Amino acid sequence: MKIATVVGARPQFIKAGPLSRAIRSAHEERWIHTGQHYDEAMSGVFFRELGLPEPDYRLEVGSAPHGAQTGRMLEGIESILKDDKPDAVLVYGDTNSTLAGSLAAAKLSIPVVHVESGLRSFNKAMPEEINRVLTDHLSAVLFCPTDVAVTNLKREGIDNRVHLVGDIMYDAVLEYSARAKEHSDVLERVGLAPGSYCLATIHRAENTDSAANMTNILEAFGKLDRLVLLPLHPRTLGYIRRWGLESMLGHPNLITCAPLSYLNMLRATSEAFAVLTDSGGLQKEAYMLKVPCLTIRRETEWIETVQAGWNRLAEANAHAIISEYGKLGKPRRHPRLFGDGRAAARMVQVMERYFSKS
C-alpha cells in the first residue's frame, strides 16, 4: 500500500504524526507539504519536536487569497500524483490543503481518505465548512472521530464508506503529554503558575478580519480575573496591526508571545484554568486534558464537548465573553467522547482491507 499524505497546516502535522508511524510500520508513505503554514514557528519546529518525517515534496505555496492559494496547491499536487502514482491520497481536517489534495486526487481517479470526516458547524460562511463538506463528498474512505460525525454524514446520504475510529488527536495527546511535562519550560519562561492563567488563541477569519470583534475579544481578555497567555498567530498579529489595536496588547492582564510549539502548547493547555479559543483543535485538546473551554464563536463542530458541559460558546462580544467565562467549571462527569487513543491503528487496518479488495 502506497499512500500520499497531504499536509500544510500546524494541526495537520500533529494529527499526521501517530498515523504516519502506523502506516510506515508496514507500508510506503510520501508526504506532500503544501506550505500553507510555512514559517519556523508554525511549521519547522513541529517536524523536529515531534519527530515527523521530512516531507518528500514541498510546494511552498505560502499565503494568498483562498482561490489563488488552493489553485496553486491543486496544480502542484496534481503534478506530483501523476508521477508518484499512489494507491490513495490521505488528507486531514478542513484546510485549503485538504481541499486541494482531495480535488487533485479525485480528478485523477485516486481514492481519497479523509481523516476527521463528518464535522459540521453548519455555518457556510466559514471557509473550513466548505472544505470539509466537499472533501467528505469526494472521499472513498471517511474516518469519523465521533458518533455525531457519523450521524452528520448519514444526513447527507453518506453511510457506506464511513468508519468510526476515534480521534487521531487523542492518540497524539496521549503520546506527547508526558514528554511535554518533562521537556516544556513555557510556564517558567513566562512566569506563570499552574491554574493561575487562561490560555487563549484567536485565528479564525470571522474574528480576526473584524475590527469590532478583535476589539471586543481583547477588551474582554483584559477584564478577566486571571492572566491571559495569548500566543499570537502571525495572521492574527497582522490584523491587530491593521486595525490599530497594538496598544490593547499592552494590558497588564495579557501576556503575549509567538506561537508555541506543540509540546509547549500541550503543557500550557494542561495547566491552564481555562482555554479561550476559536480553534477547533484546541477545543478538543482542552476536553481531552480535562480543562474547561470557552469557544469564541457562535457554533462549534465539537457540540459533544458543549453537551458534556466542558465547553461554552460566546460570540465576539466583550459582555458575552466575560459572562460565559464566569460560568466555566469542571463538571463531575467526563464522558469518553474521542475514543481510546488507538485511532491510528484502526485507520491502517481499514485501509489495508479497502485496498486488498481494490
Q: Which residues are catalytic?
A: 203
Close Cβ partners of 307 (under 8 Å, ≥ 6 residues apart)? none
Sign of the dihedral through C-alpha 68, 69, 70, 73: positive
Look-up of cell digits 499524505: 5
DSSP string, 281-309: HHHHHHHHTT--EEE-SS--S-HHHHHTT
Q: What is the CA radius of gyration of the chain?
A: 20
**Backbone φ, ψ for residue 30 (5° rounding):** -120, 135
**CB environment 243-275: b (16+ within 10 A), e (fewer):** bebeebbeeebbbbeebbbbbbbbbbbbbbbbb
* Pairing, β 197-201 against β 227-231: parallel
d(CA 233, CA 228): 15
DSSP structural state of residue 310: S
d(CA 46, CA 11): 10
First to last CA, the chain: 11
DSSP per residue over 228-245, as a string? EEEE--HHHHHHHHHTT-
Residue 92 identity? Y
* Rounded Cα distance, 296 and 312, in Å: 9
Contact partners, residue 221, CB within 8 Å, separation at least 6: 198, 200, 228, 230, 251, 253, 254, 276, 321
Distance CA 203, CA 180 (A): 24
How is 5-21 classified by DSSP, letter by letter? EEE-SHHHHHHHHHHHH
